[in-house]
Structure 1
Amino acid sequence: MTLTPDLLLHAYSVGVFPMAESRDDPEVFWVDPKRRGIFPIGGFRLSRSLTKTLRRGEYEIAVNRDFAAVLDGCADREETWINPEIRARYIDLHNQGNAHSLEVYHAGMLTGGVYGVALGGAFFGESMFSRRRDASKIALAYLMDRLQQTGFTLCDTQFLTPHLASLGAIEITRASYRRQLRDALDIAADFTVAELPDPQVLVQRMTQTS
């Protein structure tokens, strides 16, 4: 199957997403889970330890500074579903404004991040990585704040893992997901319009909404 940006966007709009068996497998298949992981907007769970880390302000946060590096960071593991074709097409989506990354830097080095696809008021989280303690959690915290500030109503995590559940993600049925997706696609949200908040402001917002 040959992927195109338009095909990818159509797939997301109907609730499916692509994967490969491994980085070396050229074949791509579509996934439509019976139960779907989502992050309720405003429902990120900020732990005490993560709050302390954020308040120290040791990290620099950026949006779309180096999308390809975040994608490569997510693929830099023993097993990955990101093959060369998937990598290339998501970079295409980024270049046309439909895929975004949120990056965490420490001492000038990229230490964590998350990327995904934006369509209407839905954000489809694809993957995240961390090279330093709490870096991916920090990326998720800023991501969830950004989605709330820019009008998104659905954050898809594809599957629910114990790690995501500990941060506030939940699991819903396929039917419920599709209903939420339909509603979200009618919304005009813009991932790029919000300013990145100071860590103290981020903590205050999340404490008020949790």
Structure 2
Amino acid sequence: MTAAPLREVPPLLMLEVYAAGAFPMAESRDDPTFGLIEPRIRGILPLDGFHISRSLARRMRRGSFTASADTDFAEVVSACANREETWINPALMRLYAALHAAGHAHCIGVRQEGALVGGVFGVAVGAAFFAESMFSTRTDASKAALVWLVDRLRGQGFTLLDTQFLTPHLASLGGIELPRVAFRKLLDPAVARREVQFGAPGPLPDAASLVPR
């Protein structure tokens, strides 16, 4: 954490924080402040090493999931924060909303029978996407959100998908850990490519078209 906890950071300044290798995190939902963290070991999901299990592929081929980009941002962030313990406090929710309004924070929302059942959101700086959090209320819905996210990032020319930390969930999809120095070697050229854009909001390709047969 930063030595002095923060209550607000201008959105454009926060983009430079991400570009420098740090990210915001609060101690809890009730904490009015947040700190800036730069872990010694960083988790990433290599875009060329993303792994879709056979069970996930089967579930996506069934066609019960649909997804869209940037049409459910507030709902996805709220769902990510709606758990017993969360680092997403009101100050960060305001920050992400401001970044989204300025075109720098994005989400993938996954629906099943019309209900929002999974999603992921994060911040884009150049060709780097900093995934902040994801949620799921149906089996594999958050993994499906990552399938759509990786497809969008690849198509738009992104080179780095940062996951901050590595969880077993992410490791099962091909996530790996890197020392800070190795992460920065990927980060610096990625954030320098400010011409890369996340892409237009709206419906995303059919789930079955994204998985191997």
Length-normalised TM-score, structure 1 = 0.94
Q: Deviations over 1:128-174 (max 9, x none)?
A: 00011110010011111111111000000000111111110000010
Gaps of 5+ in 1: none
1:197 to 197, 202, 205: 205
Shift of 1:193: 4.6
Shift of 1:191: 1.1
**Conserved 8 A contact 2:66-2:204:** no
Query: Is 2:103 aligned against 1:97?
Result: yes
Question: Which residue matches 2:75?
Answer: 69
Shift of 1:4: 1.7
Q: Deviations over 1:102-151 (max 9, x none)?
A: 00011111000000000100000000000111100100111111111110
Query: Is 2:59 aligned against 1:39?
Result: no
Question: Which residue matches 1:138?
Answer: 144
Quick one: which amino acid aligns to residue 15 of structure 2?
L
- Secondary structure at 1:87 match in 2: helix
Query: Is 2:114 aligned against 1:108?
Result: yes
**Conserved 8 A contact 1:38-1:170:** yes
Q: Distance in 1 between matches of 2:205 and 2:66?
A: 11
Paired residue total: 205
Shift of 1:64: 0.6
Q: Distance in 2 between matches of 1:67 and 1:192?
A: 15
Question: Which residue matches 1:22?
Answer: 28
What value does the CA root-mean-square deviation take over the aligned residues? 1.4
Query: Is 2:4 aligned against 1:5?
Result: no
Length-normalised TM-score, structure 2 = 0.93
Comparing 188-197 and 99-108, the one that deviates more = 188-197
1:173 to 162, 173, 179: 179
Quick one: which amino acid aligns to residue 135 of structure 2?
F
**Conserved 8 A contact 2:124-2:130:** yes
Gaps of 5+ in 2: 1-5
Identity of aligned residues (%): 52
Q: Distance in 2 between matches of 1:77 and 1:7?
A: 29
Question: Which residue matches 1:153?
Answer: 159
Q: Distance in 2 between matches of 1:175 and 1:159?
A: 15
Q: Structure 1 or 2: larger helix share?
A: 1
